[in-house]
């Protein structure tokens, strides 16, 4: 009896062993398909050098080893992973090649991009060919290096620009003080501007703070700092804000305190030869979603947003001050586009109603609020709307997709030449005031 039972169990075990590769492939294949569709996604930046080999190698290995035991559906999905990966890789390479060809169209749109970088040789080529207008310095550019070495690298890039008879690069950084001090500890880490609220002579202290920080930035070669944050501090409890962390970065919940301290800080930066940036219009105080990850919508009237907007309106006229546009959809003005790429907000509200003629730049287009729309599409819409600078910082190689899309928009006349010409003039005016 025992032998009979064992005899029955043996084929069952063999059948289980025969089917488990198919079950595993059926479980893994959908995830590989999603990965292949999102090839070179910013969130997968750390896997950039291995993702294509993995997405080609794993399906091939499974098909070769397990083919006789693979059910039809997992086999089909693995084949689709292979084809999709190869298509997305070829698409990316063709777009990159088109940008690097440095034709007049790519130079025209490329000069409106600020890009992060991990490869000095790559960014040197982009700078020398007039394919970018600026660079963004982040933690990875400073990690384990001396200030003198980084400063020399920036001078070398500016020398390349001069040799090519191109305007100086805008060198941008995100050194707010407090939680966002991306150039520290190489540069001195200062407390957040919010610590000046309620102190004696806060405006004098803010001016001194700005000048102190600005001189350190200027010694490195930075010309544009993404600060101050003039979003009002949110008083809503339990706000899901893991990356933006506006409550820790905002100066105050009271508009007048924000205006006084941020304005004095900007004066200090300007005295050191550094341009500041008001961020993040239309304000993140009321936003429940974190735009690093998700789209965000704000359903409020201009009257209801008057307090949120008052620091932007009061400080927008400061000499050499830029404004950063956040990836927030204002439902009452443009329900289909975030502020960062909305013609109704850029050309209608800011340039039109407010009469603002300073430099406008987007928040990073790698962010989840806009990236799924297509980074090239969003870049083209931003420039068409009248935005002056498009930021691609976290994942620098997304620049090729973004610039290619913007180039396509220019060729199709979605971006007008007159809009780009006006933008170039604003950038020239800003650059001319840099010490």
The active-site residue, picked from 231, 290, 308, 363, is: 363
- With 0-12 CB in 10 A as exposed, 13-18 as middle and 19+ as buried, what is 5? exposed
The answer to whether residue 267 is catalytic is no
The pair of three-digit structure tokens given for residue 116, joined into one six-digit string? 């992060």
Residue carrying structure tokens 């620098």: 396
How many Å apart are CA 320 and CA 230, to the nearest integer?
16
Q: Give the residues across from 323 on adjacent strands.
A: 278, 360
Going along 228-340, which residue ranges are E strands?
A: 277-281, 296-298, 322-325, 328-330
The answer to whether residue 363 is catalytic is yes
The active-site residue, picked from 292, 327, 337, 341, is: 292
How many Å apart are CA 302 and CA 283, to the nearest integer?
12
How many Å apart are CA 419 and CA 425, to the nearest integer?
10
Q: What b/e readout covers 62-99, taking b as 16+ CB neighbours within 10 angstroms?
A: bbeebeebbeeebbebbebbbebbeebbeebeebbebb
Task: Report residue 245: phi and psi, to 5°.
Answer: 50, 45
7, 12, 60: which is closest to 32 by C-alpha? 60
Distances (CA, A) of 261 to 202, 229, 309: 7, 11, 16
How many Å apart are CA 213 and CA 227, to the nearest integer?
11
The residues annotated as belonging to the active site are 292, 363
């Amino acid at each position: 009896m025992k032998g009979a039972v064992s005899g029955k169990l043996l084929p069952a075990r063999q059948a289980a062993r025969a089917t488990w590769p198919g079950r595993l492939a059926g479980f893994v294949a959908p995830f590989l398909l999603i990965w292949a569709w999102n090839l070179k996604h910013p969130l997968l930046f750390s896997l950039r050098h291995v993702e294509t080999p993995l997405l080609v190698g794993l399906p091939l290995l499974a098909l070769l080893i397990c083919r006789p035991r693979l059910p039809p559906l997992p086999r089909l999905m693995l084949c689709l992973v292979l084809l999709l990966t190869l298509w997305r890789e070829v698409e990316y390479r063709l777009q990159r090649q088109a940008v690097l060809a440095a034709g007049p169209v790519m130079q025209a749109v490329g000069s409106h991009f600020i890009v992060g970088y991990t490869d000095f040789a790559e960014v040197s080529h982009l700078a020398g060919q007039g394919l970018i207008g600026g660079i963004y310095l982040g933690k990875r550019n400073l990690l384990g290096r001396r200030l003198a070495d980084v400063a020399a690298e920036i001078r070398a890039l500016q020398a390349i620009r001069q040799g090519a008879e191109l305007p100086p690069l805008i060198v941008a950084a995100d050194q707010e003080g407090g939680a966002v001090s991306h150039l520290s500890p190489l540069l001195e880490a200062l407390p957040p501007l919010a610590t000046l609220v309620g102190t004696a002579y806060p405006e004098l202290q803010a001016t001194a703070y700005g000048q102190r920080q600005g001189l350190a930035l200027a010694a490195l070669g930075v010309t544009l700092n993404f600060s101050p944050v003039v979003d009002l501090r949110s008083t809503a409890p339990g706000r899901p804000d893991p990356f933006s962390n506006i409550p820790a970065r905002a100066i105050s919940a009271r508009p007048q305190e924000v205006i006084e301290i941020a304005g004095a800080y900007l004066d200090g930066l300007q005295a050191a030869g550094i341009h500041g940036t008001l961020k993040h219009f239309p304000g993140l105080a009321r936003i429940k979603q974190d735009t690093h990850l998700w789209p965000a919508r704000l359903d409020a009237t201009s009257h209801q947003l008057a307090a949120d907007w008052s620091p932007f309106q009061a400080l927008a006229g400061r000499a050499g001050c830029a404004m950063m546009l956040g990836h927030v959809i204002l439902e009452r003005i443009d329900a289909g586009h975030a502020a960062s790429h909305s013609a109704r907000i850029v050309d209608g509200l800011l340039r039109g109603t407010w009469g603002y003629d300073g430099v406008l730049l987007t928040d990073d287009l790698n962010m989840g609020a806009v990236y799924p729309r297509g980074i090239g599409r969003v870049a083209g819409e931003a420039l068409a709307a009248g935005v002056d600078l498009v930021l691609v910082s976290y994942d620098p190689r997304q620049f090729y997709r973004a610039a290619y899309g913007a180039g396509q928009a220019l060729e199709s006349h979605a971006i007008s030449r007159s809009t780009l010409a006006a933008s170039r003039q604003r950038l020239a005016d800003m650059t001319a005031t840099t010490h």
